[in-house]
Amino acid sequence: MTQNRFETVTEDTIAILIDAFYGRVRRHPTLGPVFEAAIADNEWPEHLATMQRFWSSVMLSSGRYSGNPVAVHRAVEGIERSLFAEWLALFTLTASELFEAGPASEFITKAQRIASSLQLALFHRLGDPPEGLARKSAA
């Protein structure tokens, strides 16, 4: 089966990716419940609009997004490290289905980098002693 994939990243093709990706996220067995608990049905259009601005800023340097993703994700109930691999797998699948190899890998590389820095910010605390070492007492 041949399928026409998008060759270029534009506001319109980003919108199609966002719709497809979050459609799948909402039906996903482990990601779905976390998103559904954080975003009420009537708030989804606003979330999708925010994500459109975010990816437009990331991929097209449009400057349309301003926000603090770290703070927002800190407040997401039930977010955990293992979910990031599932998020990335779903995003990779969706980007690869919709875009030609070049733009797909650009989306995927950016998503991987952002996911890594989000995980660092959320799950590592600066100043923690290295694994296995007791913190020295101040006294």
Determine the 3-state secondary structure of 99 from DSSP. Answer: strand
Closest to ligand HEM by CB, 24 or 69: 69
Tokens 């919709």 locate to 98
Closest to ligand HEM by CB, 13 or 138: 13
Determine the interface stretch with ligand HEM among 6-14, 69-77, 98-106, 124-132 (rule: CB under 6 A).
69-77
Min dist CB 52 to ligand HEM, Å, is 10
User: What CA–CA distance (Å, rounded) separates 60 from 40?
Assistant: 29
Closest to ligand HEM by CB, 33 or 102: 33
Number of C-beta neighbours around residue 91 at 10 A: 19
Is residue 73 close enough to count as binding ligand HEM by CB under 6 A? Answer: yes
* DSSP H stretches of helix in the chain: 11-27, 31-38, 44-60, 69-74, 81-98, 101-123
User: What CA–CA distance (Å, rounded) separates 86 from 76?
Assistant: 16
Is residue 83 close enough to count as binding ligand HEM by CB under 6 A? Answer: yes
Which positions lie near ligand HEM, rule CB under 6 A?
A: 31, 34-35, 38-39, 47, 50, 54, 67, 69, 72-73, 76, 79, 83-84, 87, 111, 114-115, 118
